[in-house]
Amino acid sequence: MPLPTDHPSHSLSETPYLQACRRQEVRHVPVWFQRQAGRSLPEYREIRGQGSILDAIQDASLAAEITLQPVRRYGVDAAILFSDIVVPVNAVGFEIDVVPGVGPTVNEPFRTKTDLQRLRSLEPPVDTPYVLETINILTHHLEVPLIGFAGAPFTVASYLIEGQPSRTHQRTKSLMHSEPSIWHKLMSRLTDIAIASMRSQVLAGASAVQLFDSWAGALSAKDYTNFVFPHSQRVFDELADLGVPRAHFGVGTAEILSLMSEAGADVVGADWRVPLDEVRRRVGPDTAIQGNLDPTLCLAEWSVVEKEAREVLKAAGGQPGHIFNLGHGVLPETDPAILEQLVELIHNEGLQADSPAP
């Protein structure tokens, strides 16, 4: 289904973020920050209130305001919807909570075949109407593209199976190897949910989508190929007809960057472990790249941030198809003034990557 001509992504198509996603020339290097909305911002802490993020986002005007806060303060080139990767699974009834300081937790984790019944298909207008309402509000206020998103099947599966954030992903890996048939059925359902969610976000007004496979770097390339790739590939395939850029991000993904690109992404986001010239070699010439300043360095003084940001720009080589970002989310301890300066640097000097520091 082609997008209507009054769809927001049409009027915004000449903006740097969308141009860079398409590897076109840009007037400045676009920049946005993963987790740009959130606890690092005093204006967020002021209006966020108590309780789970899953309750907070049901207030569409609050979620829209939180989405807009970093756009106003930093002048970033894209907004990202204020929501979470576990919203759709929670909305279909797989009870999950997001505990502040911990992350997503599940009282009754996914254990057996019968748990598949707890993952019916997602009907966005019925199950997550507040998400669509938030996007609708945002389309009236935004002058930069809105990025919609979903958790990738593997990363969401890990939360459902482990029951809490896990460093080893041990139960997840155990299930994929011992019960491959249940594993693929679970992945297939999570794939359907991610597709339905992102499709509805685009039809409501999002100009691009990003699939967050944050923990895919925990897998070997072989396991990624056998147990994850076909599902993530289907996500990208089934969104292709929408004609919006599709980004693919994970942490610690050095060994699977080429596969993440091959899955059908227009943009691959990388963490700080691989320099961007090498990222570009791995993802190939037809894919834009996003990243990759280490977010912990943003806790250092400005001279450090400046030096390291220039290194990132240098590795990107001033070539089209680079979106500046952090290699993972903004840490809550980050001083917003540092990110303000960082946006200014990228906008003013991003295209002169080789010019020496003043």
> Nearer Cβ to ligand CP3, position 23 or 73?
73
- Asked about 280 being catalytic, the answer comes back as no
Nearest to 192 by CA among 58, 104, 54, 92: 92
> Nearer Cβ to ligand CP3, position 235 or 353?
235
> Nearer Cβ to ligand CP3, position 212 or 224?
212
Instruction: Please name the residues in contact with 43: beta carbons below 8 A apart, sequence gap of 6 or more.
Output: 69, 73
Residue that the structure tokens 């691989």 belong to: 274
- Asked about 6 being catalytic, the answer comes back as no
Asked if 104 touches ligand CP3 (CB under 6 A), the answer is yes
> Nearer Cβ to ligand CP3, position 86 or 351?
86
In the complex, minimum distance from the CB of residue 35 to ligand CP3, in angstroms, rounded to a whole number: 4
Paired residues of 203 in beta bridges: none
Query: How big is the site for ligand CP3, counted in residues (CB under 6 A)?
Result: 23
In the complex, minimum distance from the CB of residue 325 to ligand CP3, in angstroms, rounded to a whole number: 10
Tokens at 121, concatenated = 């298909």
Please give the angle made by the CA atoms of 148, 190 and 256, to the nearest 5 degrees. 75
- Asked about 84 being catalytic, the answer comes back as yes
- Asked about 27 being catalytic, the answer comes back as no
Residue that the structure tokens 């002021």 belong to: 46
In the complex, minimum distance from the CB of residue 53 to ligand CP3, in angstroms, rounded to a whole number: 4
Which of 22, 48, 171, 273 is catalytic? The answer is 48
Phi, psi of 36 (to 5 degrees): -70, -30
Helical spans, DSSP H, in 205-245: 221-223, 229-239
In the complex, minimum distance from the CB of residue 159 to ligand CP3, in angstroms, rounded to a whole number: 7
In the complex, minimum distance from the CB of residue 318 to ligand CP3, in angstroms, rounded to a whole number: 27
Task: Give exposure, 234-273, as e/b (b: 16+ Cβ within 10 Å).
Answer: bbbebbeebebbbbbbbbbbeebbebbbbbbbbbbbbbbe
Instruction: Please name the residues in contact with 252: beta carbons below 8 A apart, sequence gap of 6 or more.
Output: 217, 218, 271, 273
Nearest to 337 by CA among 293, 309, 311, 300: 300
Among 149, 154, 227, 236, which residue sits at the site for ligand CP3 (rule: CB under 6 A)?
149
Site for ligand CP3 in 4-43 (CB under 6 A): 34-38
Pairing of strands 97-99, 103-105: antiparallel
- Asked about 159 being catalytic, the answer comes back as yes
Asked if 100 touches ligand CP3 (CB under 6 A), the answer is yes
Asked if 101 touches ligand CP3 (CB under 6 A), the answer is yes
One character per residue 322-351, x = contact with ligand CP3 (rule: CB under 6 A): -------x----------------------
Asked if 245 touches ligand CP3 (CB under 6 A), the answer is no
Among 110, 183, 212, 224, which residue sits at the site for ligand CP3 (rule: CB under 6 A)?
212
Q: What is the DSSP letter of 292?
A: E
d(CA 242, CA 208): 10
Q: Do the beta carbons of residue 357 and residue 307 sit within 8 Å?
A: yes
d(CA 270, CA 250): 6
Asked if 48 touches ligand CP3 (CB under 6 A), the answer is yes
Asked if 80 touches ligand CP3 (CB under 6 A), the answer is yes
Question: Which of the residues are catalytic?
Answer: 35, 39, 48, 84, 159
Chain residues in the site for ligand CP3 (CB under 6 A): 34-38, 48, 53, 80, 82-85, 98, 100-104, 149, 165, 212, 214, 329
